[in-house]
């Protein structure tokens, strides 16, 4: 991290600043539906963009009366000093933290599809992975005690708000695998050794799909508990690996296809 700018370093820190309407709208929807206990404390809007953001600000004013937050108009420099990206559109939200439940037997959906990601090194990759998991209709994601959920604003932006709407559970990874296996779930790990092609795989419910990060991969303890190890075949002679987010999108889509259309 020695060569990154101070502003880029913010993505590795605690952050409950939500940038832009997709993230803010998702936070509102999650609060309304009871999916999240995160609260919006304050909206900051660029005072120079009030006219061009009339629709968005009108929506936020109506919601502010419903769920209780204030809207403050500030100079653009204030917003720039608090944000990492450039896609906020002059509107950000200062939010509270969110409580993530610890996975228990009672919280497991019968006959569901869950994902667990081990060792993702970057909050942007993590957010992009959550976007695919949510879009393909999974029942939830399980993360370890060390995760990127403290960088909530970055994760919300990179997931297009999906991180606020997706059920997320915290657990020691080995404990989660044992819990789901005892509940009758197949445990499918992404990997190469002793694997079958994703085209020939069985991703039917109930299933836990485990994917690793680019550097660390999946731990041996979890691989040893796998019902099946599944690989993604390439269309060319490629010795590298896909990003965690790309692999997650492929597995999420194939799980959706097999359970919805097969």
Q: How does pLDDT run across 90-107, given as a tens digit for each residue?
A: 999 999 999 999 999 999
Residue 171 lies in a domain: yes
CA distance 255 to 138: 9
208 and 111 share one domain: yes
pLDDT in tens, 3-62: 545 555 555 555 789 999 999 999 999 999 999 999 999 999 999 999 999 999 999 999
- Of 95, 114, 142, which closes a domain? 95
Spatial distance between the Cα atoms of 162 and 131, rounded to a whole number of angstroms: 5
Q: What is the reported pLDDT for 12?
A: 54
pLDDT of 2 > 60? The answer is no
Residues 58 and 146 in one domain: no
DSSP state of 217: B
**Domain annotation covers residue 1:** no
For residues 223 and 111, membership in a common domain is answered with yes
At residue 1, the pLDDT reads 41
Q: How confident is the model at residue 165 (pLDDT cuts 50, 70, 90)?
A: very high
Indicate the SS3 state at residue 227. Answer: coil
Instruction: Show the tokens assigned to 147.
Output: 């995760």
Q: Is residue 100 part of a domain?
A: no
Return the structure tokens found at 160: 């297009």
Query: Apex CA 95: angle with CA 90 and CA 99, to 5°?
Result: 145
126 and 42, same domain (yes or no): no
Identify whether 253 is part of a domain: yes
Mean pLDDT across 111-123: 88
Q: Model pTM greater than 0.95?
A: no
Query: Is 254 in the same domain as 189?
Result: yes
Q: By three-state DSSP, how is residue 118 classified?
A: strand
Say which CATH number the domain at 20 has. Answer: 3.30.1330.30
Per-chain mean pLDDT for the chain: 90
Question: Whole domain around residue 120: which residue ranges?
Answer: 105-260
Which pLDDT value is given to residue 239?
81
The pLDDT of residue 118: 83
Among 95, 127, 146, give the residue marking a domain's end.
Answer: 95
User: pLDDT: is 76 or 150 the higher one?
Assistant: 76
Same domain, 21 and 87: yes
Shared domain for 85 and 127, answered yes or no, is no
- Position 189 confidence tier, pLDDT thresholds 50, 70, 90: very high
Q: Which two tokens stand for residue 153?
A: 């604003």
Do residue 55 and residue 122 come from a single domain?
Answer: no
Return the higher-pLDDT residue of 216 and 132. Answer: 132
Confidence (pLDDT) at 5: 54
In terms of domains, do 88 and 122 share one?
no
pLDDT grade for 146, boundaries at 50, 70 and 90: confident
Q: Domain end: 38, 64, 95, which one?
A: 95
> For 234-254, how does the pLDDT look when each residue is reduced to its tens digit (9 = 90+)?
999 888 888 889 999 999 999
């Amino acid at each position: 991290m020695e060569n990154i700018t101070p502003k880029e370093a913010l993505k590795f820190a605690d952050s409950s600043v939500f940038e832009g309407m997709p993230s803010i709208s998702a936070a509102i929807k999650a609060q309304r539906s009871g999916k999240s206990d995160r609260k919006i404390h304050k909206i900051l809007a660029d005072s120079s963009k009030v006219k061009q953001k009339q629709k968005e600000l009108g929506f936020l004013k109506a919601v502010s009366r419903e769920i209780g937050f204030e809207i403050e108009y500030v100079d653009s420099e204030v917003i720039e000093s608090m944000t990492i990206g450039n896609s906020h559109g002059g509107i950000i939200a200062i939010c509270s933290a969110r409580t993530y439940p610890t996975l228990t037997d009672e919280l497991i959906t019968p006959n569901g599809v869950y994902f667990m990601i081990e060792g993702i090194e970057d909050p942007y990759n993590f957010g992009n992975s959550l976007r695919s998991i949510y879009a393909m209709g999974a029942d939830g994601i399980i993360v370890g005690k060390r995760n990127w959920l403290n960088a909530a604003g970055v994760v919300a932006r990179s997931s297009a708000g999906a991180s606020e709407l997706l059920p997320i559970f915290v657990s020691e990874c080995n404990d989660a695998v044992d819990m789901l296996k005892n509940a009758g779930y197949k445990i499918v790990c992404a990997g190469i050794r002793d694997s079958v092609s994703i085209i020939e795989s069985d991703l039917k419910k109930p299933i836990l799909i485990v994917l690793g990060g680019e550097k660390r991969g999946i731990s041996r303890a979890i691989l040893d508990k796998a019902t099946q190890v599944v690989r993604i075949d390439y269309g060319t002679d490629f010795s590298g690996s896909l990003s965690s987010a790309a692999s997650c999108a492929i597995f999420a889509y194939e799980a959706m296809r097999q359970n919805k259309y097969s």
